[in-house]
Structure formats: C-alpha cells, structure tokens
Amino acid sequence: MVAVPQSNMDPDLSQLRAIFVNARARSGLTFEELAERSGLHRQTLTNIARGRANGDLRTWLLLARAFDTRLDDLLEPVWES
C-alpha cells in the first residue's frame, strides 16, 4: 500500500499520460499489440498517449494486466509530488 501524506490526498491525474507512455515503452508493445492484449481500442490508447483522455478504472485495470503489473505499481506516480 502506498503511504499518502495527509496534506495531499488528491492524485495528480496529469501523470497518467506519462505513466502510459513509459509503461508502453518499457513493454516494447506497439499500439496494435497493446490493443490486442488489453482488449481496448487502439484509438483509446492513442488518446491516452496524447493526453486527450485519462481512461477510467476499467481501462487502467486492463492496462495493468496487459503490462503484466499490479495496478498499484502502475499508478503509483499519481501520488508522487
């Protein structure tokens, strides 16, 4: 579990684009491969990569599985200041 300081309880959702871009780069997956592994539309993935969309909880759960990581680990940067 991530320890979150009481003074900053809001996640920084502006980090989601960078999280996605970095995880995809580490995975070596193309957008097409990631779409196939996650079950998400390629357009959804490109929208997240461009910062046009954040996705919802389901999106990030599917991405965590596709990237073979835990959701907590994938999204940990939203809690970093």
What is the block-wise mean pLDDT of the chain (81 residues), using blocks of 10 residues?
Answer: 62 96 98 98 98 97 98 96 65
Quick one: pLDDT at residue 54?
A: 96
What confidence score (pLDDT) does residue 1 get?
58
75 within 8 A of 20, measured Cβ to Cβ = no
| CATH number for region 13-73 | 1.10.260.40
**Annotated domain spans of the chain:** 13-73
pLDDT, position 9: 84
CA dihedral 65, 52, 23, 61 (to 10 degrees): -20
Whole-prediction pTM value?
A: 0.87
- pLDDT for residue 48: 98
HEC states along the chain? CCCCCCCCCCCCHHHHHHHHHHHHHHHCCCHHHHHHHHCCCHHHHHHHHCCCCCCCHHHHHHHHHHCCCCHHHHHHHHHCC
